[in-house]
Structure 1
Amino acid sequence: MAITAQDVNKLRQMTGAGMMDCKKALTEANGDFDAAIDILRKKGQKISAARSDRQTSEGSVFVKTTDDGSEAILVALGCETDFVAKNEDFQKMGEAVVAQAAANKPATTAELLELNVDGRSISEHLTDLMGKIGEKIEVVAYEVLKGDQVVPYIHSNGKLGVLVALAGVNGTDVQEAGKDVAMQIAAMNPVAVDKDQVDASVVEREIEIGKEQARAEGKPEAMLEKIALGKLNKFYKDNTLLNQQFVKDNSKTIAQYLNETHKGLTVSAFKRVNIGG
């Protein structure tokens, strides 16, 4: 049957696919719109398979916080190019995914992808979007954080997001302090909140590195352990959040800044996601 321009435009409005893709799909489906939609979806699946080894080093971070501010959800949607990351359909998809994550609280990324949106799973919607855009698109991170108050932060490039959970809030408005700390985490990339949360394997590695450095400097064997522990303390100051110097005021640590803001205020946990980083 003859495929009219009106038919092509109708399918385009229904699917968001390109004009030529819609015309080809309708022609192949002999004008059957449902079959044409399936063809376009299959095209997306083929693109997904063909691009499975591509790197999603671009993308955007999306966050949503509960009304009481005690919980925040972060979803990072990855793609291949910055151009696609700024695409309106890509951005809408990210907002839809994080909204579903916040509403349903799935335990894993796999469960998130199976959530139903308008009768189809998020995974299917992502496949359709890949068919439309022609790039690999995937959820590269999904994080949920709870606390007395959780403050989100997205860096200006949209690719780096932070959630920071504050404790000892006691009803005080600490949004500004929370944002300062979230920006600190974005800039300084700490490995843990405090030294007692640093993984034991990391501690062992740092001690061994410290010993080897001291040995290379010709220090006596009897002094190596003490020197290495001194270097470990320096590692804690540089790499654990509460012990880091506050980037806005190097005269105080993050722990001191928070306690000065509101006595007893501290950080219980944080999440940091950097797409492609």
Structure 2
Amino acid sequence: MTISAAMVKELRERTSSGMMECKKALVEANGDMELAIENMRKSGLAKADKKSGRIAAEGIIGAKISEDGKTVVLVDVNSETDFVAKGDDFVGFVNDITNALLTTDVADEEQLQALVLANGSTVDETRRALIAKLGENITVRRFIKYTSTDGGQAFYLHGSKIGVIVELSKNDSVLGKDIAMHIAAAKPEYISDSQVSAEIIAKEKEIFAAQALESGKPAEIVEKMIGGRITKFLAEVTLLGQPFIKDDSMTVGKLLTSKGNSVTRFARFEVGEGIEKKEENFAEEVMAQVRG
């Protein structure tokens, strides 16, 4: 059967695949459009499964807030290269996920994968189709969603690599964005001292004590040194204790107090954090190919 240009064009529009791949699929299906699509889907799933073990440590962070400021979502979607992450297909996928999450209750990763996007396909189906099209492993690594009836939400994206969401006890979009921006830059681990466990403080005391004893100072002086170091440590790791990035003459805690507000919770995502990236040596790779 003759495969017309119009048939190839239709298949490309329906699958977003390359021209040659569409023509080949139509030839193998003897012009049967639906069979060609089915075969391409099967092939795409197989390709996706083969790539699933490859490290995906690039990507982008997506964030979106509801019109009433009561709900906000943050999602981390990864690819193998920054080149793919900057493409329209990948960016669109992330946007579709954030939009869907904003209006749907999703509790875990399994529910996220089954979430139906605006295109009518699930997150996992769309992800696999993208892997087949773009040729890289793509993963939806994590997400978080905050909803509050009394307080307010805010978010800040630093480019596409760092994202922060913040929940305040009172709705204040300007303050919320400032706090989110601060968290993006300063990376606090806790909101306040009360969230730092006794085990962590004890461990830090042990480290500081060992360092202080080496100074040869009297025990009572060493004890004061340890106390001072712990105070400094808590100020460094807690949001309320950190100097505010826009005005370091005051802490974030004092800023919030002056506004009659408080932070209920926050989350910070950074692309690739915690993922062990594969070290590439492209010169050696080329030489290995040359040698056969």
TM-score, normalised by the number of residues in structure 2: 0.85
Which residue in the other structure is 1:189 paired with? 187
How far apart, CA to CA, are the structure 1 residues paired with 2:16 and 2:43?
13
Q: Partner of 1:208: helix, strand, or coil?
A: helix
> 1:200 deviation in Å?
4.1
Which residue in the other structure is 1:237 paired with? 235
Kept after mapping to 2: 8 A contact 1:47/1:135: no
> 1:55 deviation in Å?
2.3
> 1:223 deviation in Å?
6.0
Which residue in the other structure is 1:159 paired with? 161
Change (3 A) 1:46 1:248: same
How far apart, CA to CA, are the structure 1 residues paired with 2:18 and 2:272?
29
Structure 1 residue ranges without an equivalent (≥5): none
Q: Deviations over 1:81-111 (max 9, x none)?
A: 2221121111211111112111212001221
Q: Deviations over 1:122-155 (max 9, x none)?
A: 1111101111111111111200123401101111
Counterparts of 1:72-151 in structure 2, within 5 Å, are 72-117=72-117, 118-147=119-148, 148-151=151-154
TM-score, normalised by the number of residues in structure 1: 0.90
Which residue in the other structure is 1:44 paired with? 44
Q: Deviations over 1:39-87 (max 9, x none)?
A: 2223322332222232222212222222221221112221112221121
Asked if 1:268 is matched to 2:264, the reply is: yes
Whichever residue aligns with residue 54 of structure 2, its letter is: R
Change (3 A) 1:254 1:33: same
Q: Partner of 1:242: helix, strand, or coil?
A: coil
Which residue in the other structure is 1:9 paired with? 9
How far apart, CA to CA, are the structure 1 residues paired with 2:212 and 2:11?
70
> 1:215 deviation in Å?
2.9
Which residue in the other structure is 1:252 paired with? 250
> 1:237 deviation in Å?
0.8
> 1:3 deviation in Å?
2.2
Structure 2 residue ranges without an equivalent (≥5): 274-292
Q: Deviations over 1:1-26 (max 9, x none)?
A: 33222222111011101112212222
Which residue in the other structure is 2:204 paired with? 206
Kept after mapping to 2: 8 A contact 1:61/1:75: yes
> 1:210 deviation in Å?
1.4
Whichever residue aligns with residue 180 of structure 1, its letter is: D
Identity %: 37
Q: Partner of 1:233: helix, strand, or coil?
A: helix
Q: Partner of 1:271: helix, strand, or coil?
A: strand
Which residue in the other structure is 2:282 paired with? none
Q: Partner of 1:72: helix, strand, or coil?
A: strand
RMSD: 2.0
How far apart, CA to CA, are the structure 2 residues paired with 1:109 and 1:220?
55
Q: Partner of 1:139: helix, strand, or coil?
A: strand
Whichever residue aligns with residue 53 of structure 2, its letter is: D
How far apart, CA to CA, are the structure 2 residues paired with 1:233 and 1:162?
26
Q: Deviations over 1:200-238 (max 9, x none)?
A: 443232222212222333345676555333322111111
**How many pairs are equivalent?**
270
Change (3 A) 1:199 1:273: farther
